[in-house]
Structure 1
């Protein structure tokens, strides 16, 4: 007799057990498919976040590596003597920033300036009579390629209130002053001012003329006690890179001003090897000018969703293993009840593979029906469960972020330490949708569970001879 007919008669004759198996498979398949849907949604969200954020690669200057290479001399108390050609210059950063894998880049020229008659230092509190003010009586000047890209301007703690900021196309010789400094010197946008360069050797330095291009305000308050002028946020002056380089103790060259590091936002974290090759082509030794990716923003975005996806994957495995175990017990119990049937069929000449195939068809039929019912249920379950799990992970991530902010150290200007990239908000929504690949996965998982649940106990019974099956007690 055809094994499919026997399987059909068995399923319809024992309708209660058939419904029990179908219900059990429904639960297993719904949970497994929900896990697959959550995992697929998480992968899509991670891919979108990668395209949206990219990664930040930092090009820095490692002076220790330069000294180990023998290209720098120890100058004793004055520090290392570095050849001007070995310094990291803004021109190299500009050339590397033109790479097709870079979406945007920035760098700072750290410099300082001395006060003059028409640009005096801002002092919130006058110095005590006996205080030595010479060591800190100068402006902190930061030469920036794009003022709007600076962390304080991105997060809103600093705002431009008059004039224009500094951009990639801004000409040389412009300054953006803090409002407290501008008010103290009665300066407005468009005024001409002078500032002396800061040689760092005690000399006065050369006078340089600049134009006030803009005025900004900073939320960082001045100290209520006397502090050196350098530490007062009112004395932080932004300048174009070449303007800051003109004030620096390190003389600019044809390759630009001296910089300590430059940051490049990549289209994809995987583009770092390409950027390294292009840096090497520009003559940047990877040991002395290392490039490293800071994917902190990407991790902030996908951290909670990755944990949710990991939990979903673990759920799939646990449910699958539990399903195999439970169904194996049910099938084993069913085979014990059908020992007489199996023994008679074997005695009549039925082959063992066909008997095992009959049981496999019975289980697979229940699995197929259960998979069909699980498709609409799993989408609702995945949406609800995924959102709940993700909400919990996002809450944990925000708590961790708050703890990190509490433990952060203050920077030299008296404010909170700031990252090069603004903090990214974690992904809070999952786009759960059923695809053919997910349906194929749950189908394979369901039929695989059915096969294992049938073959494991079925082999133990059918390896016996018909006489053993019929005479052996339950």
Structure 2
């Protein structure tokens, strides 16, 4: 009787053991295939987070390296301000998707009837802005646009106000406001149109207190206006003490933030002794840390399942070979070589695995989505691919071969007479 037929007849005769090994291989393969699909979905989610969350960095005057002077408005730092050319040069570095800058003024704002707007502070904390969507307060999630549009660099007289301020004063997008830096000093009046309204998502206590002028203003008193309008507010006033003090740069791929900052610091035309760079990637770091922990958990589970299962299969095969000592001894006694006997055991296992792997592929396509939801994935994003099937099939066959060889070592070390003498 040839080797293949003996293997086939044995698997049929020992159908209970065959069914046990089949179910075990099916279960293991299904779980591993599902785990690989979930791991891929996790990686895709990580890539998506890198592209959608992004990160930013701030370039601001380093007043610690500059001098101080006094004027009619009090003392002020003589450190050089940022220029528009400098900001645009930084924004041209590869990896930077957008930018904004801050020309801070503290104007009074009046409605169309000339009445001062009602709010909690004497004045307003106003950011002159190029592209307000890239301002640190919006990138960090503390502010959120709820109506209208952001300030853009092609606007000459746009202004954004808080939802709370709009409700207090009955204002809406399209209304006109007038800003005056110092009415008592006859500084220029600048007319501005409300283009957007933002909501304050974070409380004041959530802000990192920088101990500057903004610390005295409630978030509802913050406004953003076009850079051209901000420059118009300070005409004839504060030439020494007012200018663009900081700029924000948005990096689409948060994982490249450090590399982009290094490229920026290599710009030789900027005296970096006068400026400080601060990275702002807390949101990305928090999310990516959670995703990384989940990815590690998934990988660990796949490894644990594989190792434990292979140990279990090896034990089952070892017990099976041990129970077949008499058969093994007879086969060896009639002249069948040890490698042929081991090959028969291997064929028996592979005959069980051949239908188990394809069936596991079919089952995993149904199971993976449900398991993925336990890790926060949507079922449609957890997909078992043919590549996963090929990987599991090849790796599974290699592991099964190793298991058969290990389980057959004790019996194959004995001679036929020794094997038969141990039988009762």
Query: What is the TM-score normalised by the length of structure 1?
Result: 0.68
Distance 2:255 2:388 in 1: 27
Q: Identify the residue that residue 19 of structure 2 maps to in structure 1.
A: 19
Match of 1:98 among 88, 92, 99: 92
Q: Identify the residue that residue 422 of structure 1 maps to in structure 2.
A: none
Match of 2:387 among 432, 437, 456: 437
Between stretches 371-380 and 463-472, larger displacement belongs to 463-472
- Per-residue CA deviation, residues 247-279 of structure 1 (Å, 9 max, x unaligned), is 3857489xxx42234131324623652453245
Match of 1:315 among 301, 305, 308: 301
- C-alpha contact 2:99 2:247 (8 A) present in aligned 1: no
- C-alpha contact 2:103 2:127 (8 A) present in aligned 1: yes
**Where does 1:315-354 land on structure 2 (aligned, <5 Å)?**
315-354=301-340
Distance 1:192 1:212 in 2: 6
> Deviation of residue 438 (structure 1)?
0.3
1:289 maps onto 2:276 in alignment: yes
Distance 2:100 2:268 in 1: 18
**Where does 1:209-358 land on structure 2 (aligned, <5 Å)?**
209-214=189-194, 231=217, 235-244=221-230, 247=234, 249=238, 251=240, 257-267=243-253, 269-270=255-256, 272-274=258-260, 276-281=262-267, 283-284=269-270, 288-290=275-277, 292=279, 294=281, 296-297=283-284, 300=287, 307-358=293-344
1:36 maps onto 2:22 in alignment: no
> Deviation of residue 471 (structure 1)?
1.7
- C-alpha contact 1:194 1:208 (8 A) present in aligned 2: yes
Q: Identify the residue that residue 55 of structure 1 maps to in structure 2.
A: 54
Distance 1:181 1:230 in 2: 22
Distance 1:467 1:458, change over 3 A: same
> Deviation of residue 439 (structure 1)?
0.6
> Deviation of residue 382 (structure 1)?
0.9
Unaligned runs of 5+ in 2: 201-213
Matched pairs, number: 396
Distance 1:335 1:62 in 2: 77
Distance 1:57 1:35 in 2: 34
Distance 1:82 1:363, change over 3 A: farther
RMSD: 4.3
Match of 1:463 among 406, 413, 417: 413
> Deviation of residue 377 (structure 1)?
1.0
- Per-residue CA deviation, residues 416-471 of structure 1 (Å, 9 max, x unaligned), is xxxxxxxxxxx655512222220122113321331232122211221223332222
Distance 2:150 2:279 in 1: 29
- Per-residue CA deviation, residues 9-41 of structure 1 (Å, 9 max, x unaligned), is 322332332222212211221112121122122
> Deviation of residue 338 (structure 1)?
1.3
Distance 2:16 2:98 in 1: 66
Distance 1:472 1:218 in 2: 86
- C-alpha contact 1:62 1:290 (8 A) present in aligned 2: no
> Deviation of residue 58 (structure 1)?
0.6
Find the residue that maps to 1:168 and give its secondary structure: coil
Match of 1:113 among 103, 107, 111: 107
Find the residue that maps to 1:21 and give its secondary structure: helix
**Where does 1:103-142 land on structure 2 (aligned, <5 Å)?**
103-113=97-107, 122=117, 137-142=122-127
- C-alpha contact 2:126 2:224 (8 A) present in aligned 1: yes
Query: What is the TM-score normalised by the length of structure 2?
Result: 0.75
- C-alpha contact 2:131 2:153 (8 A) present in aligned 1: yes
